[in-house]
Chains A and B, each alone.
Chain A
Amino acid sequence: MIGLGLPRGFMVTLKNFLRPAVTEQYPDRHVGLIGAAKAAGMNPFQFLVKKPADSMKAIAGLATVPVAVKQSARFRGNEFTFFEDRCTACASCAKYCPLGIIEIVSVPGKIDAQEGESYKLDVFDIDIGRCMFCGLCVEACPYDALHMGTSFERSRYVRDELIITKEDLFDAPKRPSSFYRPQFEEKGFDPFAETIEDFHDAGRHERPSDEDLKRKWVDER
């Protein structure tokens, strides 16, 4: 009805005005005295007595605490998790990358090798300055050696620093995302709380059974 539209519209605005805000502060959130004391692990009175300067700052509204961004466990982030013991340097990931930004150089290893030993990785560079985090490399990896990471904060001033080398991958925090790795989801692994240091704990996705392998490589030949 003409004439009622505007007041009704303002009622909606009023209702939304009274709703809690959905805005997320990033990277820091302003806190008052109570929040600052909580972040320091004390109760407000202790905080007032022990850290008067900080409590004054908090009362003035200047104290901040870092925010943990809500992410899902499948988040395709940029700190790739890599289990070097599993990698056979097969270069499937490099072939599957739509942008061709993974560089792999391998050297022959021992003759009667264990899993992950027959070829040695010499170079494993990912130029994440051009990476689009599509995850196709992770999908292609037949040995579950490469996983997407969950972090997203990797801004640098120089493009060259965005090339992740083998050493970077070895040292990176092992917080694999469960993207294309249903075994993590089955285990209930939470990449924001735990890490996986040993590749034995990481499990395997769709590993063919021994019968399947025999059928494929022996019986059908």
Chain B
Amino acid sequence: MAIRTQPVTVNLGPQHPSTHGVFRMRVMFDGEEIVDVEPVFGYLHRGSEKLAEERTYTQIVTLTDRMDYVSSMLNNQAYILAVEKLAGIEPSPRGVWLRMIASELQRIASHLVATGFLLQDLGALGTPLIYAMRERENILDMFEMLCGARITNSYLRPGGVFMDAPSEFWPALDRGLNDIVNTIDELETYLSGNEIVFSRTKGTAVLPKELLINASITGPMLRASGVDWDLRHRAPYDYYDRISFERKLHTASDNYARYWVRVQEARESVKIIRQCIEQIEPGEVRPSFDDVPRLIRPPVGDAYAAIEGSKGELGFYLVSDGGIAPYRMHVRASSLINLTLLRDMLIGGQFGDLFVTFGSVDLNMGEVDR
């Protein structure tokens, strides 16, 4: 006998521990089934794009740290690439290698956070999250050696990075990479074959390939559906054209596929860092202040540069009116755009899968609201 139910509207968030920040959803349930979702965001809006209009090009680096605060280095990199394109700056090779190493480390850290919190959302309270965070801690320690900060790095400068890596960084990186590989192996041992993870994530929130492309979803979410689209490969920036790496694809496009793609990408990042270490040469880490002064005045014009961030295509669009600050800055925030398919993912699903699906998008409210 079917139980008679009636639709109930529930307000989730913005102060809910599972919403990865301050995100609010108005969800309508019919029994256990989700009938309607209305996302409400903007609770973490800090007006970064507006603030950028009255700061010099170097000062804005500090603002980009705070957009997606679990992948600051990648934000720095995307922004710096846009500035370099706008002002026609030729970066120093060593600076470029260092920022590639830093941003690949950051990608691993970000994917570890995504995986850890996905398991937290699955109900594995604490333990797997702490395993992932333990490894991230090592990466953050390396960042502290590089630039003196763990989260809000501001390590990059137009033309390279502000300071060369200290001598203790290289042995720590070597050790760290081995540890990361071990952790990922461990992670896969207890997750990739785990029946509970299978039954909870396989076949949930399946998104068709066409829909993903039409909604301009990028990053691991897109690659989990089998579309081979990685900007490091399609439009190589920095020195990614001198690096060989595999693009890991999955075809199921469900929550499990998204998790799997992230873990494999972290493995590839380790390989990329190893290649960077082989190819890095001694030299200056940024052009001299005669070539790239602290106060950059790019010519009138605009520039857009995008990188493969940890969450998708992360782009910065800068318009210059010839002054010391940009006339306008726009950020193509991958989290925000990936969030647009939330309704398609959730409607028809079960209440228990709501936060799992939400977590599998891997969004960061700091980036969504900016």
Contact = CB atoms under 8 A, between A and B. Distances in A.
Bind each other: yes
Interface stretch (B7-15, B38-46, B92-100, B148-156): B148-156
Interface stretch (B22-30, B83-91, B193-201): B193-201
Nearest to A135: B148
Interface in A109-167: 132-136, 139-140, 148
A179 B58 contact: no
B175 interface: no
B339 interface: no
A13 B195 contact: no
Given A6-B195, A185-B166, A76 B190 contact: no
Given A4-B193, A180-B162, A74 B152 contact: no
B59 A148 contact: no
B166 A8 contact: no
A69 to B, nearest CB: 11
Given A4-B193, A179-B148, 9 more contacts: A2-B195, A5-B194, A5-B195, A22-B134, A72-B145, A72-B166, A74-B163, A136-B59, A136-B62
Interface of A: 1-6, 8-9, 11-13, 15-16, 22, 70-76, 96, 98, 132-136, 139-140, 148, 177-180, 182, 185
Interface string B126-167: 010001001001000100111111001010000000111011
Contacts of A179: 147-148, 163
B294 A96 contact: yes
B186 interface: yes
A16 B187 CA distance: 12
Given A22-B137, A134-B152, A8 B62 contact: no
B195 A76 contact: no
Contacts of A72: 141, 144-145, 148, 166, 168
Contact of A9 (B62, B163, B190): B190
Nearest to B198: A5
Contacts of B193: 1, 4-5, 8-9
B189 A76 contact: no
B154 A8 contact: no
B146 A135 contact: no
A135 B154 contact: yes
A3 B190 contact: no
Given A71-B144, A139-B162, A8 B189 contact: yes
Contacts of A13: 127, 190
Interface in B279-299: 294
Contacts of A3: 195
B16 interface: no
Contact of B154 (A22, A71, A134, A140): A134
B260 to A, nearest CB: 14
A148 B148 contact: yes
Contact of A74 (B55, B147, B189): B147
Interface string B263-307: 000000000000000000000000000000010000000000000
B194 A9 contact: yes
Contacts of A96: 58-59, 294
A134 B166 contact: no
B145 to A, nearest CB: 5
Contacts of B141: 70, 72
Contacts of A5: 190, 193-198
Contacts of A71: 144
A8 B190 contact: yes
A132 B148 CA distance: 12
Contact of A12 (B58, B59, B163, B186): B186
Nearest to A3: B195
A136 to B, nearest CB: 7
A16 B131 CA distance: 9
A5 B193 CA distance: 5
B161 to A, nearest CB: 11
